[in-house]
Every structure is written in structure tokens, then in C-alpha cells.
Amino acid sequence: MTIEKPTIALTLGDIAGIGPEVVARSLLDDRLLKVCRPVVVGHPEVLRRAFALIGKIVPFQSVGSVDAIAKRDEGIVCWNPSSVDVTLIADGKVDARAGQAAYDYLVSATKAALAGQIDAITTAPLNKAALNLAGHHYPGHTEILASECGVREFAMMLYLPSSNKVQGRYGLGVAHVTLHTSIRSVPDLLSVERITETIGLIEGFLKRIGCQTPRIGISALNPHAGEDGLFGGEEATHIAPAVIDAQRRGILADGPIPADALMRRAATGEFDGVVAMYHDQGHIALKLLGFDQAVNVTLGLPIVRTSPSHGTAFDIAWQGRANANGLIEAVLIAAKLIRRQV
């Protein structure tokens, strides 16, 4: 079975940020339109305003329910599942109404994907402060998605396709054992089980995109991989046992390797995937390699979800300066994953 053009939902995210602009720009790009039938999840007036911001008048169909999506012909559809009026929200400001609407867009799109009414989700960024002001105490998209999908084993991964900066044939994926949490809390959150799960999740993703024998480098937590315990013992107590466990399962895992050396070795093609111990350990390196091409993929879900790696960028919101390449890359990866799934 193949899906020539999967239906992919593009959530507007926090409408006070750059989400609406990057969605609008992406909808004018032939790369996106060739691989999917886009459904914008958000307020139609916000979408019209975003098109006007970039100097375009683009026709689209506004629908009131997810059931109406399947009945449409080719073209852009906007589905607004939220009752929140976001038309008067100030640009670039934290607002509980924007947080609630972003939550509604995400949860509704997730439920539609779980029900098979859409094929994948690509999300524009939300603002964590606005989300919490609205009463939704999640650190971000990943945790909401895991909750809605009812999964306990999941991970956030940044992925860069193969390029002159990432020389591996299948690109480079970096999955994170811990997510949105303080640096102080990271050592206590690490466990052999959690690291082993993350190794398995990234191996599954790499196989799904065609890499049959993924080579996965496992990062150390401490400088110099702990220097035999001088700088910390997590390498010996948690990371090395997880690597051994993965190897026993037939996974080509290597580590723990000092993070600075590992990311260089991975970029030059020695590894197809990397398991980082915490958020910035993986994010900084991959964003330096390709900020506008890096795609966030949520591993472990029963649905496909991708997003660009950037945030809401309130400082440039609604100024016509946002770059849509990250969102476009995220849609392209979502379409590729759907083709591999069916």
C-alpha cells in the first residue's frame, strides 16, 4: 500500500510567535505541495493575516470539523478545533489564550491522527510559558503527545538529512534520554533502562528510513567520559551497562564516548545515530551543523509527528522575517516516514 499524497496537519502553534508566518510561507513552496495534502490546524483569520504579512492572497477552504477534511478536493484547508478567540492577541507576547489555542490545535490534531483521519502531524512551535498560563503544565509538545497517545517509552530526536555537513548516507539522528528538565536533575533521571529504551527507539527510526544496520554512538554525561570516575560515575553505573545491554540485543551501539568527540565522529559519517544524555548536549551540536534543516521527530508514538527545531521567536514575530525551511524539512520527513510506514 502507498499513499501518493498523505494528509499532513500543520498546527499553527502559539499564534503570537512565528508559527503562522512559517506555515503560510511553507504552503507556497512546491516541495511541500508535491509530497502532501496540507491541512492547517488553527484560526482561519490568523492564517489570512499570515498570508497578508508575506504579501500573498491565497485561497483556502475553512472547515468546521475533521470529517470535512476527507471530502475536499486538492487545495489548502484550514480546520479550527479551538473555541478560543485569538484574533486580538498581541504579537510576540506571552498570552494564556494563545497557549490554550496551541494546546487545542495539538490535541485535536493528535486525536485525528490516532483515528486515522489524517496521516501525520507537523507542529509549529508553542510557548511553554503561555501553555502553563493556560493551565497545561507540560514542558512541551513531546510530553503532551506522549500523554495523548498513552505511551511511556518515547524520546525527542533531532534529525539532519545527509548533506555536506552530515556525511552519513542516512543523515544523522540525535535522540535524548532526558527532555525538558534542569541540568541539576539530569543525573538523577538517568537509568540503564531509560538509556537502553532510547537506544532502541533511535535504532527503530533509522531502520524505518532505510538504514538496515544503524551504528549508534552513546554519549557520556561527564567531560572525558568521567575520566575513570574522577569527574563522575554515571558512565560506569548507567551508560556503559546500557550499551552492553543494547549490544546483547544485536544493536551496533558504542560508548560511552565523550560528547565533544562523539558529535564530530558522527557528523563525519562514523555513526548514523547518537544518544545524548540531555537536551543541550544534542541540540547545540546539531543546530550548529544545520539549524534550518534540523527536524524534531518524536520517537515511540503510534503516529508520525515532526516539527522544526526552532522556537516561537517572539523577537521577530509578525515582522515578515521568519524562515520556513525548518517547517518544510519537517513536512518532507513526515511524508517520508508515512511512505515507510504503509
pLDDT tens figures, 230-283: 888 999 999 999 999 999 999 999 999 999 999 999 999 999 999 999 999 999
Cα–Cα distance measured from residue 31 to residue 81, given in angstroms and rounded to the nearest whole number: 27
What gap in Å lies between CA 158 and CA 160, rounded to an integer?
Answer: 7
Strand-pairing partners, residue 62, are 78
Q: Is the pLDDT of residue 4 over 80?
A: no
178 three-class SS: coil
Q: What is the pLDDT of residues 121-148, one digit of tens each?
A: 999 999 999 999 999 999 889 999 999 9
Model pLDDT for residues 71-84, shown as the tens digit of each residue:
666 789 999 999 99
Which of 68, 60, 131 lies closest to 101, judged by CA?
Answer: 131
C-alpha to C-alpha distance for 154 and 300, rounded to whole angstroms: 4
Per-residue model confidence (pLDDT) at position 71: 61
Q: What percentage of the chain exceeds 90 in pLDDT?
A: 83
Q: Does the pLDDT at position 61 exceed 80?
A: yes
Domain 155-286 bears CATH identifier 3.40.718.10: yes
- Confidence check: pLDDT of 67 > 90: no
**Which pLDDT score is estimated for 341?**
54
Reference 3, options 331, 303, 338; nearest CA is 338
* CATH code, 7-151+301-341: 3.40.718.10
What is the residue type of 293? Q
Q: Where are the beta strands (DSSP E) in the chain?
A: 7-11, 37-41, 61-63, 77-79, 120-123, 155-160, 172-176, 215-219, 252-257, 273-276, 295-299, 305-308
- Mean per-residue pLDDT, 193-203: 97
Q: Sheet with 61-63: list strands edge to edge.
A: 61-63, 77-79, 37-41, 7-11, 120-123, 305-308, 295-299, 155-160, 172-176, 273-276, 215-219, 252-257
Q: Binning pLDDT at 50, 70 and 90, where does residue 1 land?
A: very low
**pLDDT, tens digit, for every residue of 312-337?**
999 999 999 999 999 999 999 999 99
Say what angle helices 325-341 and 192-208 make with each other, to 10 degrees.
80
The helix-helix angle for 44-53 and 19-26 (nearest 10°) equals: 70
* Domain ranges in the chain with CATH number 3.40.718.10: 7-151+301-341, 155-286
**What does the pLDDT look like over 200-232, one tens digit per residue?**
999 999 999 899 999 999 999 999 987 888 888
User: For residue 286, is pLDDT > 60?
Assistant: yes
What's the pLDDT at 226? 76
Q: 3-class SS at 234?
A: helix
Tell which phi-psi region holds residue 313, choosing left (phi > 0), alpha (psi between -120 and 50) or beta. left
